Structure 1
Amino acid sequence: MKATSIADAEHYLWGHACDGWHLLATDDLSVIEERMPPGSFEQRHFHTRARQFFYVLDGEATLELDGTIHRLRRGDGLHIPPEVAHQVRNNGSDDVRFLVISAPKAHGDRVAAPLAFGAS
């Protein structure tokens, strides 16, 4: 075992200019640090098995969870149970950085969901 950081973790791109780093990638637990530039968002979706915890490191994330909007600032976190539709956005003017902790891993367990009423 060794310490890890975004400097040596597996990097990937997603969405429109968003970054992700696999800090821990096992079948039963995933820890990813993500960066979203201003104006970026992910597709609304849910996971059939994985539960997730989003924890904001810097900036402010807007997370829609089952039709309710949550504004998460540095030091805030939110649990997302399996089968609950959600979408994260960066509506701010600065990058947002956050951790996504999933158990079991969420990769391969993603189902597209329609937009929530009034969402864009």
Structure 2
Amino acid sequence: MTVDLTKLVHNAEDIGFSDLSKVGLRGQKDEGQVCTLISRDLSGSDDLNVSLGRILPGQHHLCHHHPDASEFYVVIAGTPIVHLNGVEHRARPGDGIYIPRGTSHGITNDTDVVVELVVGMSKPADWEFVSDE
């Protein structure tokens, strides 16, 4: 069996980050950046999506939920506030945070340090984003 590394291996420096593009219930812009590394389109994945995320100082990733997918965060750098169904958790590097489907969640970076995260979804693409704020 031949392995096609061009479909299986992706690097964030090569792909680059893009700004989040969702809009909240009052028209506010979602803030943060994402670089997708594993997905249906990039890798042919049929069961998950993995990205690197960045929340810059002062940014807020809108509270939202996914009725059709669970998610996780692994904090690599920074100490953001993670919002989980109205409860705030001050995260730190090394935290793994599981977000069951339907759970409202968001991130606030109220520090001067860039927050870096590994973000995973239980679907390879096309999950629903429902804004909660």
For normalisation by structure 2, the TM-score amounts to 0.76
Are the equivalent residues in 2 in contact too, given 1:50–1:105 (CA < 8 A)? no
For normalisation by structure 1, the TM-score amounts to 0.84
Are the equivalent residues in 2 in contact too, given 1:10–1:23 (CA < 8 A)? no
CA-based RMSD: 1.7
Which residue in 2 is equivalent to 1:4? 10
Name the CA distance, whole Å, in 2 between partners of 1:100 and 1:56.
9
- 1:103-114 aligned at under 5 Å gives the runs 103-105=122-124, 107-114=126-133
- 1:19-30 aligned at under 5 Å gives the runs 19-26=33-40, 27-30=46-49
- Structure 1, gaps ≥5 residues long: 115-120
Residues 32-55 of structure 1 deviation map (CA, whole Å, 9 limit, x = unaligned): 101111110112110011100100
Larger Rg: 2
| Residue 19 of structure 2, aligned match among 9, 13, 25 | 13
How many pairs align?
A: 113
Which residue in 2 is equivalent to 1:100? 119
Residues 70-100 of structure 1 deviation map (CA, whole Å, 9 limit, x = unaligned): 1111111110000111111111111010011
- Structure 2, gaps ≥5 residues long: 21-29, 41-45
Higher helix share: 2
